[in-house]
Structure 1
């Protein structure tokens, strides 16, 4: 431990600056979403079984909802451009633009070079949770996903129902890709319903029992044609561990809703990012 300099307190007291002020982002139109959602009809549903993942498709301009239906359960969500798997959800940039946890009115952004909204959160029944006394909150974009490589590193053995493997199988089954090809497209997730934060003393990532209960849901508007995959985490509500055959796990429901014709008049999918990609050359 190095000795603190004489001006250590002054250095620590420097006020922070928000890196990406939210008021500079292209604003969503909640009134438009509300009008479109009011008359929307369910057109599809998929179940992600316990300790497994399911893939689903959502055309641009439709809504999708992820619901707890039997008991407290966390889900790991991947999203891709349905026509180009290289454009995928970018959790790091979403975190930088919105914060460590996301809720109603915030967006899931795609990877470079597109960097555009993929989906907008339109309803969150856990929005009341806020930030608790431990610094925990719900729906995080700070964790990665439980995976068999880290499990092997820390515990040994071959565990195949980590969310990473679940998502890999779901994507492979949906697209016809091999497992090796599909795995390259699996990426850091939105941890739906997961309650997480960082410890104040050591800065370590923590999880705690999710506050989700049957009937709770997180709903999105698809800004572009989406392919999604959702894993019902083997940790259940993640109150103890997240790669386990012992934790109580429950299924998650994904529903897709289509607005009435004309309900989105004037709306268009966001274009890809306008940067010219010359990189100074």
Structure 2
């Protein structure tokens, strides 16, 4: 099969091009870093944490294989949040080193850039599975009831809802996720499949925060997905569940001298609306 060129190109000179050397310099062993905080996300639950722009955060397998469902917002304006579908288009459906997680319109800028991935060499397996999935989304109690007729309150969607409530956000702010450490793909019928998580204790996915962030993650109640995550085969996946940990690091200021937080595209149009230019900022703010 021919290797068809991507619709959105990130080659030399493209606005999507990434300075790999800069992000390489931020990895452990490069720029000096100081551990600020370690956040422990409990098994089958969720937690939220803040990351200042210019910091690094590492999602780490602390005990055993475990999938994490990850959300992210602009700390100062939660209307700007991670946009999974645009990230799939601009980067790829399974992200790794040098890929960026992009924000929603009208903001459209990188929120975080992946700088290290210990599962990068997993690549594509014999079934077409890859890790760190943007194809699917979080499990939720609504689909659970639809498929099983039973209520269960601790799906990833519910875990994320509980995690962000203390930060003033609601269920309506939870969005499509990055499934960290999750192995997925599309079968011959173009249908979504999931495989057991290949991550082991010590594996991690590390990000550089391009803007001030509020992050949240659920430790999926399906654990490592080695058994049916809805329990439809009669087996509770509890024995496959583990916690995850997040390490937040401050980088030395010298490492960031050439870095600037990304700006949104300077679109001056008004989508064809015939409103006075002086009112357009109010229109964008919903006033």
- Residue 17 (structure 1) shift: 4.8
- Residue 112 (structure 1) shift: 0.6
Please tell me whether residue 221 in structure 1 is matched to residue 191 in structure 2. Answer: no
Give 2:282's aligned residue: none
TM-score by length of 1: 0.89
| Contact 1:41–1:258, Cα closer than 8 Å, also in 2 | yes
Give 1:205's aligned residue: 192
- Residue 243 (structure 1) shift: 4.1
Write the deviation string for residues 59-94 of structure 1: whole angstroms up to 9, x where unpaired.
Answer: 000000000011000000000000000100000000
Correspondences of 1:132-281 after superposition (within 5 Å): 132-173=125-166, 175=167, 177=168, 182-200=170-188, 202-243=189-230, 245-247=236-238, 248-281=240-273
Paired with 2:216 and 2:243, the residues of 1 have a C-alpha distance of 14
From 65, 69, 75, give the equivalent of 1:72.
65
Give 1:121's aligned residue: 114
Query: Does the residue aligned with 2:255 lie in a helix, a strand or coil?
Result: coil
Give 2:10's aligned residue: 22
Give 1:6's aligned residue: none
More displaced 10-residue stretch of structure 1: 119-128 or 151-160: 151-160
Q: Which runs of 5+ in 1 are unaligned?
A: 1-12
Q: Which runs of 5+ in 2 are unaligned?
A: 274-287
- Residue 195 (structure 1) shift: 0.1
- Residue 190 (structure 1) shift: 0.3
How many residue pairs end up in the alignment? 263
Root-mean-square deviation (CA, aligned residues, Å) is 1.7
Query: Does the residue aligned with 1:94 lie in a helix, a strand or coil?
Result: helix
Give 2:87's aligned residue: 94
Query: Does the residue aligned with 1:278 lie in a helix, a strand or coil?
Result: coil
